[in-house]
Structures are given as C-alpha cells and as structure tokens.
C-alpha cells in the first residue's frame, strides 16, 4: 500500500442533518465500516485482497469525516467545493489508483479502481461520486493511455494530485449517446487548433480547470475525423454559459460550455489525430464499469434501510414487512444487486488481465441503470409518505440514480451494443 493513502481531516462545517434518515430506528443507521456495507465481505470476492480492503477503509474514513457531514449543505446550495474535496482525495492517492507512478498515481491494477468506485457509493448523495468518477474514469483514461508525456505532465499529473479539476466535453445538443454527430470543430492554424462549438451537460464544467474535448479535426468519415484535445478552461473564448438545473445530482455542477475561436497548442492533442472517437470508445468501457460499481452500495443501503423501516412501520396493526409481497420484492431486489455485483467483479477481473470487456461493461451499465430505477421506486413506495419527503435517503437516491439509465450511454445504446456483440444487430442497408 502506497504511503500516500492517508486520512487527514480538513474543512468542517456544522452538519445540518436534513437528510439523515431521522425517521429510522438506530439499528437502521449504518456506517460504511459495517460488514453489511462490504469491507469485510469484500474479502469473499476472488478478485480482492486485504490490500483492497485497506485502501477502501482509508477512503471510508475520508467519506465519513470530510464528505458526508457536508452533503446536505452542498445539496442545498447546489454545488460542492470540488477543488477542496479533490485535493483531499488526491493527497491520499485516490484520484490515480491505477495510473502510472511517474505521474503521481499508485500504479495498481484496475481492480483497485473498482474497489474505490464501489466505496464511493457510501457517499450519501449521487452528485459527489459522479464528479469524482468524471475525474478518474471518464476524462483521464484515454489521456493516461494514449497521451504524450507533455500532456500527461500538463493535465494528468495535476488531476491525479487533485490540483486540477477535469471535465469531459463530448456531449452536445443532438449528440449525446451518438457522438458521431457532434458539430464542434478544431481546425489547424499555425501551431494551434482553433476550436468552435458548444458542449452540453458537462459535469464539473463550472469548476473545471481543463476539459478533455472531443472535436472534429477533419472532414472525413464521422468515426475517423475526431480527436481528443486537452483544453484549459481559462483559455480566451471558453464561456461557461450556465449551470444547468437538474432533476437530481444537485450538488454536482453541470454546465453548458460555449467555445468561440479558442486557441490551444496542437501538442495538447491526445494520441493521434483522427483517433478521438476510437479513444473515447475505449475510455467508455471504464466509464461504464465505474457507473455499475458505484451503484452497488447505494442500492444495497436502500434495501437495508427499507427492511429496517418496514419492520417498524405498521399498517392495519402489523409491520409492513410482514406482508409476503414486500418480503418477496425485497428478496428479488437483493438477488438482482448480487447478480450485478458478480457481473461487475467478473468484468473487472478480465479487464485487469487486459481482456476485452466491452460487452460485459455494457451489460453491467444497462443492469445498473435498470436496477437503480427498480430499487429506488420499489423502496420509496414502501416508505409511504415519508419516502416522498427530503428527510430520508431514499428520496434523494430516487432522484440521483435515475441518471444511471441516461449518462455514460443510455439504456437503449447499451442494448444496441450488446446486440452488436451478439451478432443480432441488423447490418446497415447499402445505399
């Protein structure tokens, strides 16, 4: 274990306690150090070791001491202090677990990254984990794998250290899941790229120091004319137009970004020109596995808290949990969560060995999104009127986790990719 994995206290704000499951009996309030939350149980999985558990335990301390006490306030104000939180995580080594040591990473294999992603699910909201995931598994994987030493030292190293906040600039209006349709251009002029376009739904966009941008760098075929370019967000011509209000993920800023004649050196390209779409597809595998892994603990926690609440909530003189339909539904949901966990771990083990896991990553992402909708909706129903308030966690995750069926590729795209891997997707008709 790298010595940089430490747990130090930093800024503190009085806990407002707006969403602390106050309606629950004490037995229903669980910390991430409980066996039910998975640290000791983590050892039951073949791909994890004591080193994984220690890494996870160190992260758990940061979550419980320095993140969860402030989540309610961050949700109220609509933004969390990304630079402060990321610096704390960077100092402890959690923003570059599987990145090369020469750029400040821990140099561990991908299974440690999934251990971190899963533990982030103990944060009592969806917005903070998602913002961290953008930094570690969405904006930087292609840079770490294909970038030059120059761009790695300029953008990857400070992102791993937590000194810079990253965002991923791929989506546009009319080009969300279908990235082949983006309109943003980056044209060569002298030794620079001149960039023009508009990016939408950019997580971390208001606080980011740099963007991993996907843009058209030529007039060729849509899958061969795109490049990934690192764009400093303080460059002239970069306009953070607005903070987009969302259904959930309230404490995570989501921006609309306008780029007008933005000049960046051509040396800021990631890898080869024209390979951006391919790099983004490779990057998407880790993005989708991250989403699936990060969903496991919130779903598990909601089931556990719902079991405890329905033991004590009475209707017509008996606990809600005494109804067989409730018992069976919760048993079904628990089974589905364990199925998802097994799929995530299998894909993780294969990916750590360098094997192709695109089909499994798509399946895990699809299952996570569908299950997030089923678990949150079913559990909220059993909470009754209390579930419709802002005082319990189930209502927050009902809002936040709905995004998992949309972000990182919508469910429908995942189904198309799985069908393609199965060989059942019809071939395009010749024109």
How many whole angstroms separate alpha carbon 121 and alpha carbon 115?
10
Distance of CA 264 to the CA centre of its chain: 28
At residue 62, the pLDDT reads 98
Cα(first)–Cα(last) distance of the chain, in Å?
Answer: 57
Q: Which of 31-40, 106-115, 185-194, 345-354 has the lowest mean pLDDT?
A: 31-40
Distances (CA, A) of 95 to 54, 164, 204, 244, 279: 16, 11, 15, 26, 20
Identify the band that residue 180 occupies on the pLDDT scale cut at 50, 70 and 90: confident
| 165 and 90 Cβ atoms separated by less than 8 Å | no
Q: Is a pLDDT exceeding 80 seen at residue 5?
A: no
**By three-state DSSP, how is residue 123 classified?**
coil
Q: Report, as an integer, the average pLDDT of 135-156.
A: 97
Q: Is a pLDDT exceeding 50 seen at residue 259?
A: yes
Dihedral (CA of 327, 332, 334, 335) sign: positive
Backbone Cα Rg of the chain = 22
Q: Is a pLDDT exceeding 90 seen at residue 22?
A: no
**By three-state DSSP, how is residue 142 classified?**
helix
At residue 29, the pLDDT reads 33
Give the count of beta carbons closer than 10 Å to the beta carbon of residue 423.
6
From 118, 273, 286, 287, the catalytic residue: 287
pLDDT digits (tens, 9 = 90+) for 191-237: 999 999 999 999 999 999 999 999 999 998 988 999 999 999 999 99
How many whole angstroms separate alpha carbon 198 and alpha carbon 84?
28
Average pLDDT, the chain: 90
301 membership: H or E segment, kind and range: helix 276-312
Q: Is a pLDDT exceeding 60 seen at residue 429?
A: yes
Angle at CA of residue 63, ends 299 and 117, nearest 5°: 50
At residue 26, the pLDDT reads 34
| 105 and 112 Cβ atoms separated by less than 8 Å | no
| 56 and 108 Cβ atoms separated by less than 8 Å | no
Identify the band that residue 32 occupies on the pLDDT scale cut at 50, 70 and 90: very low
User: How does DSSP assign 37-96, residue by residue?
Assistant: GTTTGGGGSTT--HHHHHHHHHHHHHIIIIIGGGHHHHHHHT---HHHHHHHHHHTTTT-
pTM of the model as a whole: 0.88
Q: Is a pLDDT exceeding 80 seen at residue 395?
A: yes
Percent of the chain topping pLDDT 70: 89
Identify the band that residue 122 occupies on the pLDDT scale cut at 50, 70 and 90: very high
Q: If we measure between CA atoms, which residue out of 191, 194, 262, 276 comes closest to residue 233?
A: 262
- Is 412 a residue of the active site? no
pLDDT digits (tens, 9 = 90+) for 275-304: 999 999 888 889 999 999 999 999 999 999
pLDDT digits (tens, 9 = 90+) for 149-163: 999 999 999 999 999
Q: Burial code of 386-409, b = ≥16 C-beta within 10 A, e = fewer?
A: bbeeebbbbbbbbbbbbbbbebbb
How many whole angstroms separate alpha carbon 390 and alpha carbon 153?
43
360 membership: H or E segment, kind and range: helix 358-387
Q: Is a pLDDT exceeding 80 seen at residue 14?
A: no
How many whole angstroms separate alpha carbon 304 and alpha carbon 397?
14
At residue 44, the pLDDT reads 53
Q: Is a pLDDT exceeding 90 seen at residue 418?
A: yes
**By three-state DSSP, how is residue 262 classified?**
strand
Phi–psi pair at 31, nearest 5 degrees:
-95, 160
At residue 303, the pLDDT reads 98
At residue 294, the pLDDT reads 97
Q: Which of 5-14, 175-184, 263-272 has the lowest mean pLDDT?
A: 5-14
pLDDT digits (tens, 9 = 90+) for 309-359: 999 999 999 999 999 999 999 999 999 999 999 999 999 999 999 999 999
Higher-pLDDT residue of 185 and 27 is 185
């Amino acid at each position: 274990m790298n010595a940089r994995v430490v747990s130090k206290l930093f800024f503190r704000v009085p806990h407002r306690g707006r969403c602390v499951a106050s309606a629950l009996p004490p037995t229903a309030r669980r910390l991430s150090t409980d066996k039910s939350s998975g640290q000791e149980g983590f050892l039951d999985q073949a791909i994890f070791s004591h080193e994984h558990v220690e890494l996870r335990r160190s992260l758990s301390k940061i979550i419980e001491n320095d993140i969860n006490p402030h989540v309610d306030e961050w949700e109220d104000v609509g933004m969390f202090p990304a630079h402060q939180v990321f610096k704390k995580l960077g100092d402890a080594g959690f923003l570059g677990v599987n990145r090369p040591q020469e750029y400040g990473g821990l140099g561990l294999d991908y299974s440690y990254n999934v251990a971190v992603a899963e533990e982030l699910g103990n944060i009592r909201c969806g917005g903070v984990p998602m913002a961290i995931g953008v930094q570690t598994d969405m904006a930087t994987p292609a840079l770490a794998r294909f970038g030059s030493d120059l761009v790695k030292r300029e953008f990857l190293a400070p992102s791993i250290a937590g000194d810079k906040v990253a965002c991923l600039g791929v989506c546009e209006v009319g080009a969300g899941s279908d990235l082949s349709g983006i309109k943003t251009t980056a044209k060569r002029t002298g030794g620079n790229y001149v960039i023009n376009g508009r990016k939408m739904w950019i997580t971390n966009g208001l606080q980011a120091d740099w963007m991993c941008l996907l843009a058209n760098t030529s007039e060729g075929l849509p899958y061969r004319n795109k490049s990934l370019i690192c764009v400093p967000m303080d460059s002239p011509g970069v306009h953070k137009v607005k903070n987009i209000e969302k259904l959930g993920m309230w404490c995570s800023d989501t921006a609309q970004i306008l780029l007008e004649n933005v000049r960046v050196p051509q040396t800021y390209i990631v890898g080869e020109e024209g390979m951006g779409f391919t790099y983004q597809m490779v990057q998407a595998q880790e993005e989708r596995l991250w989403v699936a892994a990060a969903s496991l603990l919130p779903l598990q926690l909601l089931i556990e808290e719902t079991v405890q609440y329905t033991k004590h909530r009475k209707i017509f003189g008996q606990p809600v949990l005494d109804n067989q339909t409730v018992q069976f539904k919760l048993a079904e949901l628990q089974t589905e969560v364990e199925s998802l966990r097994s799929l995530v771990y299998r894909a993780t083990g294969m990916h750590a060995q360098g094997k192709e896991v695109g089909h499994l990553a798509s399946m895990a992402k699809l299952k996570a999104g569908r299950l997030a909708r089923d678990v949150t909706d079913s559990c909220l129903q059993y909470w009754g009127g209390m579930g419709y308030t802002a005082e319990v966690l189930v209502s927050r995750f009902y809002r936040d986790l709905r995004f998992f069926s949309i972000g990182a590729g919508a469910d429908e795209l995942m189904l198309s990719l799985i069908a393609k891997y199965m060989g059942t997707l019809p071939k395009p008709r010749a024109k």
